[in-house]
A = this chain, B = another copy of it.
């Protein structure tokens, strides 16, 4: 059963030309395809929109559409923060190793726990949590939104959590107060970004968001930290190394 609609036929033809290398970089204009295929502009644009939503091409007003070729960075999830001299966290070290220049901006606040965060931290929904919101950038471009949530009882027991500043410590903040994380539960999901996220991360049309959540537990089973990291899926390879 062949494709019947014009815009799907056109989209299929363009996909083939892209994968065959006919269009290495620039794509034809609306007008060029209108005359080549004899379709109206709306139909041509519907085909282009489909390819954009598949992440194959990117469009910018005033310029020809281009084939999308984003650079990707590996993100190893089973390399922990080294406890020694390094002042960088595992993510920054990994990016630097790959030839990128990592940076981060941090803001700390106290907020009430949303139901999903409360469930992960095993506290009551609406209870206070300490939130450390980070925007991680590579080569000056925003790359990740990494938010950590700490339960309220940590603030009461360890004054360092109530101090202003970026809440970082060599070897890891939790380890520095004698609460090392012994176990992690990770979950990975993907979805399309909201308009807010699109703007904050500069996500292109048709690129999903990878949402990585990590909950860290003390050896006695208490959840110590819940971390939600969001990033454009076309810029990373999330990696796990496991022993059977």
Contacts and interface: CB of A to CB of B under 8 A. Distances in A.
B55 A191 contact: yes
Interface in A14-58: 42, 49, 53-55
Contact of A238 (B183, B188, B207, B241): B188
B190 A54 contact: no
A77 interface: yes
A180 B244 contact: yes
A188 B208 contact: no
A208 B190 contact: yes
A186 interface: yes
A217 to B, nearest CB: 9
A19 to B, nearest CB: 10
A240 B192 contact: no
A90 to B, nearest CB: 12
Interface residues of A, number: 42
Interface in A187-221: 187-195, 206-210, 216
Nearest to A237: B187
Contacts of A233: 189-191, 208
Contact of A243 (B55, B182, B189, B195): B182
B208 A192 contact: yes
A160 interface: no
A51 to B, nearest CB: 10
Interface of A: 12, 42, 49, 53-55, 77-78, 80, 180-195, 206-210, 216, 233-234, 236-244
